[in-house]
Amino acid sequence: MNILSEEQAVARHLSLRAAGLLEGLAPDFLAQFQSGGAFVEYNQQVIVAPGEPVDYVSCIVAGGVKISRLDADYAKVPVARLGVGDWLGVANLFTRAPSTEEAFADGEVVLWTIPPDTLRDLFFDDPQAVPLLYNLAAHLAQKLAAAARE
């Protein structure tokens, strides 16, 4: 894991895109939102291990992340592959449960991360955060609906 400086992030043209969970956000709010977090680089390593707390809400800005779960024989079973624009740790905004899955950097991956407490404070302090809160709620509702169908 390597936390990138602001200069490194600018030199690599890293930024959050106004799509997916960030759709509908005002450009000035998106810039302020981005400055509240940090870009973190991983390379072929575990981002979150099963049983660990998820300490950050993160958006993938470069690369891909493999999600796997241990089966009854403790073998890793692939669950999903996430790419640019996908998020990790969103449920941690509302619960502090440890991860049941492993998130692994598939090659070089850059995440933009923000602590859940900072994000929660933003929801209460800035009215411009309402579209983001709505998008997060819709995302979680879709996951709940998908889980209920399984």
- Can you give the pTM of this predicted structure? 0.91
- Is the pLDDT reported for residue 136 higher than 80? yes
Give the separation between CA 135 and CA 20, rounded to whole angstroms: 8
Work out the mean pLDDT of the chain and round it to a whole number. Answer: 93
pLDDT tens, position by position, 65-80 = 999 998 888 889 999 9
Q: Which residue bears the tokens 């941690």?
A: 92
Domains in the chain (CATH in brackets) are: 2-149 (2.60.120.10)
pLDDT tens, position by position, 85-131 = 999 998 878 888 888 899 999 999 999 999 999 999 999 999 999 99
What is the maximal distance between C-alpha atoms in the chain?
50
Task: Please give the sequence-ordered ranges of beta strands (E in DSSP) within 49-128, or none if there are none.
Answer: 57-70, 76-82, 87-88, 102-114
For residue 104, the model assigns a pLDDT of: 97
* pLDDT classification of 26: cutoffs 50, 70, 90: very high
Q: Answer whether 69's CB lies under 8 Å from 77's CB.
A: yes
Q: Which residues contact 94 (CB under 8 A, 6 or more apart)?
A: 140
